[in-house]
Chain A
Amino acid sequence: MSYVYTVARLRGMENHILDTAFFSRLMDSAGIDEALKALGETSYSQWISQNGNSFDKAIDSEMAATFQELETFVPDKGLLDIFRLPYDFHNVKVLLKGLFKVRSGELEGRRYDLLSNLGTVDPEELKNAVETEEYGYLPYGLTDLIPQCWQLWDATKSAQAVELLIDHQMFKAMLNVAESLKMPDVIHWVKSRIDAENLRSAVRLARMKYDSAKALPFFHEGGTIRPDDMAKLLNEPQETWGRLLSHTDIGAVLGALQDSGNIKAALTDVSKSLDDYLIKVLENAKYSMDAPANVLLYLLTKEAETRNMRVALVCVAGGLDREFGRRLLSNGR
């Protein structure tokens, strides 16, 4: 299959993506039953009926079906792997944390219900590999990573340190996959994704009053901004971050931070701005009829849709403040 075919098909598929206005209307539903009824004419309806009205599983099923469909016609599977491998790393975290709890005497510590089926490795196979300590065939450096996690756990008993180690490897693996594709737009996007994650961490760490030395291990290598420079932000007032990063693409996103003096309120705004930024990085691909980055753009938009779906349904089911929910909606389409 060529990318001309792929992009044309994605353009057709984009018509089925639900827009923010739809989710805004969905949030006006009186209850979850009415909201699920409103989904009757969308692609989610089949998954809702199959999963016994569990919208969480239905949303995952929709994303899994999207990956499955794209696999049939996207020429480079690596483009999908960039999106899917975070779910593999999430599963590794879930499995290891469960085993850590079991080792600490909490026999019911395993949480297999939290495993995601959206990764590239079957969760059942991953579970067997981790439990039997036979991870020789696992991809993305997991073969070496899992024993390192055990060593770190034995030395520190810190689940957070293990989680960080896993995240570092995840971004390294993402960059490796992107570099193996030899597509400059895709490599640039992965670097921007790392920057975005680092900036998100910086906002959180600033909120927790971390200084640069203490915060440094939280930042990932591989972005366009070095972890050192990212950590230095924490020594500066939040209002100056935009100016300090003005030479980078991501600097503009900090406008959201500067507009808000309250860092607590800024967290959701920055998170949303970063999601929009990651879509914007790929915007040039929209104007190309055969740019592989269109695959990433479609997946980002689809992910934004599933995120919006979750926000809307949680709001309706939990009777939460609809205005707050609307603020959380991403501008996917």
Chain B
Amino acid sequence: MEYLGLSLALFGAALAAALAGIGSAIGIGIAGGAAAGVMTEDPNKFGSCLILQALPGTQGIYGLLIAFFVLNKLGLLGGAGAVALNWNQGLQILASCLPIAVVGWYSAIWQGRTSAASIQMIGKKPEAMGKAIILPAMVETYAVLALLTSILMLMGVQVG
């Protein structure tokens, strides 16, 4: 039971990085499929397609950020050794990681779908690039809110 707290906290960090990362990979894959389709007909649209394809990648970065935040809080990054955690504190850190893990995973997939639709839109109407970026960016709002929630929750957890 001595390491249960630490294990729970690390499990939270792993979830944040893994689920948000998986979501981003799926989202980028969906948008990439659409980008490839549009560029087969018009390779000149590479620049616009790349921006839209990259949008669902941010959730993976947010997940990674939270994972680093947790590792730093646990004292695992500086080489000084891990701080002592009871199971209750570990569970609090795990709970703090869940917003970005779950919202990041799900929102990245839906952002990928919206990006794909926007890529199809610029395939037909290149002049609508501005509007095409706004639509998937709206999905980003909720990933950012989840990131903020995770950060605020983590900041509130007392360790050591």
Residues A12 and B34 in contact, CB atoms below 8 Å apart: no
Name the contact of A4 in the complex, choosing from B33, B40, B41, B42 (C-beta under 8 A).
Answer: B33
B90 to chain A, nearest CB (A): 41
Residues B41 and A13 in contact, CB atoms below 8 Å apart: yes
- Of A4, A5, A9, A290, which is in contact with the most chain B CB atoms at under 10 Å from its CB? A4
Name the contact of B123 in the complex, choosing from A6, A8, A290 (C-beta under 8 A).
Answer: A8
Residues B36 and A5 in contact, CB atoms below 8 Å apart: yes
CA distance in complex: A12, B123 (Å): 5
Name the contact of B116 in the complex, choosing from A8, A9, A13, A14 (C-beta under 8 A).
Answer: A8
Interface residues of A in 291-327 (CB under 8 A from B): none
- The A/B interface has a contact count, at CB < 8 Å, of 55
B76 to chain A, nearest CB (A): 40
- Per-position 1/0 for A1-30, Cβ under 8 A of B: 010111111111111000000000000000
CA distance in complex: A9, B117 (Å): 12
Residues B124 and A11 in contact, CB atoms below 8 Å apart: yes
- Interface residues of A, Cβ cutoff 8 Å to B: 2, 4-15, 73, 289-290
- Of B34, B36, B37, B38, which is in contact with the most chain A CB atoms at under 10 Å from its CB? B37
B154 on the A face (CB < 8 A): no
B143 on the A face (CB < 8 A): no
- Of B35, B42, B116, B121, which is in contact with the most chain A CB atoms at under 10 Å from its CB? B116
CA distance in complex: A177, B64 (Å): 48
Residues A9 and B113 in contact, CB atoms below 8 Å apart: no
Residues A12 and B37 in contact, CB atoms below 8 Å apart: yes
CA distance in complex: A10, B120 (Å): 9
- Per-position 1/0 for B112-156, Cβ under 8 A of A: 010011011101100000000000000000000000000000000
Residues B36 and A8 in contact, CB atoms below 8 Å apart: yes
CA distance in complex: A5, B119 (Å): 10
B156 to chain A, nearest CB (A): 40
B67 on the A face (CB < 8 A): no
Chain B residues lying within 8 Å of A289, measured Cβ to Cβ, are 34, 113, 116-117, 120
CA distance in complex: A118, B124 (Å): 28
CA distance in complex: A290, B41 (Å): 17
Interface residues of B in 1-49 (CB under 8 A from A): 30, 33-38, 40-42
CA distance in complex: A6, B35 (Å): 11
CA distance in complex: A8, B121 (Å): 9
Residues A15 and B41 in contact, CB atoms below 8 Å apart: yes
Chain B residues lying within 8 Å of A290, measured Cβ to Cβ, are 116
Residues B30 and A11 in contact, CB atoms below 8 Å apart: no
CA distance in complex: A15, B127 (Å): 14
The 5 closest A-B pairs by CB, nearest first: A12-B41, A8-B37, A9-B37, A8-B34, A4-B33
Closest to A7 in B: B120
CA distance in complex: A6, B120 (Å): 10
CA distance in complex: A233, B119 (Å): 47
Chain A residues lying within 8 Å of B30, measured Cβ to Cβ, are 4
Closest to A16 in B: B41
Known contacts A12-B42, A289-B113; A4/B37 CB under 8 A: yes
